[in-house]
């Protein structure tokens, strides 16, 4: 029927490479509102926008939000976490990432959500809370370098966790130690870890 034709047009449009994120936003924003109780439709929008790497658009966030209302899932919770963070609402973002950790079965993904929460908290200068989530990410996945780097950066941005200058020096050893751990467990972060080790070793 008509919807098939329309879907095929959308598919054609996407495959032609003419689909930039703004066009997808324009196409889907009103449709997501119209179909906010249609789980299948919303999931389709999410998967198309993910495929096109258009996950910063409101249509994507709105679709995630409605999916979450119908069928709470880790994925949808995380989508809402990113949306809240983009709007600058750190508390809500962390709440959703926490929810995503609880709903997710896969340890590796759980760790990624914990890291996302840690990163959001770090951006809001909530250092001890951020460290808690970063450590949670590491306990969920010991071979995940990013949270080690984040912890190192938390120590480095606020090395005055104590007034004693000896301990102040100590925190830099902690920083280097975390960076070396990151290096040891996760080759994806080697370049960044080495760059930071170079910076902090001075």
Task: Provide the residue-wise pLDDT of the chain in tens; the chain has 202 residues.
Answer: 556 666 666 666 666 655 688 889 999 999 999 999 999 999 999 988 888 888 888 999 899 999 999 999 998 899 899 989 988 999 999 999 999 999 999 999 999 999 999 999 999 999 999 999 999 999 999 999 999 999 988 888 775 544 455 555 667 778 888 888 998 999 999 899 888 888 877 7
Residue 10: how many other CB atoms lie within 10 Å: 17
192 with 149: CB under 8 angstroms? Answer: yes
């Amino acid at each position: 029927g008509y919807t098939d034709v329309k879907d095929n047009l959308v598919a054609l449009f996407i495959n032609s490479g003419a689909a930039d994120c703004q066009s997808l936003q324009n196409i889907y924003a009103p449709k997501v509102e119209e179909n906010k109780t249609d789980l299948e439709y919303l999931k389709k929008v999410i998967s198309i926008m993910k495929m096109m790497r258009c996950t910063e658009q409101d249509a994507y966030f709105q679709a995630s939000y409605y999916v979450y209302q119908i069928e709470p899932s880790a994925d949808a919770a995380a989508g809402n976490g990113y949306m809240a963070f983009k709007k600058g609402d750190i508390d809500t973002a962390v709440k959703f990432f926490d929810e995503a950790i609880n709903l997710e079965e896969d340890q590796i993904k759980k760790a990624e959500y914990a890291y996302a929460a840690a990163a959001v908290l770090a951006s809001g200068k909530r250092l001890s809370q951020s460290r808690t989530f970063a450590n949670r990410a590491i306990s969920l996945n010991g071979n995940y370098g990013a949270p080690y780097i984040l912890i190192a950066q938390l120590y480095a941005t606020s090395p005055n966790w104590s007034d004693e200058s000896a301990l102040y020096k100590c925190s830099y050893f902690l920083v280097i130690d975390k960076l070396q751990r990151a290096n040891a467990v996760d080759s994806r972060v080697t370049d960044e870890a080495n760059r930071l080790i170079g910076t902090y070793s001075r």
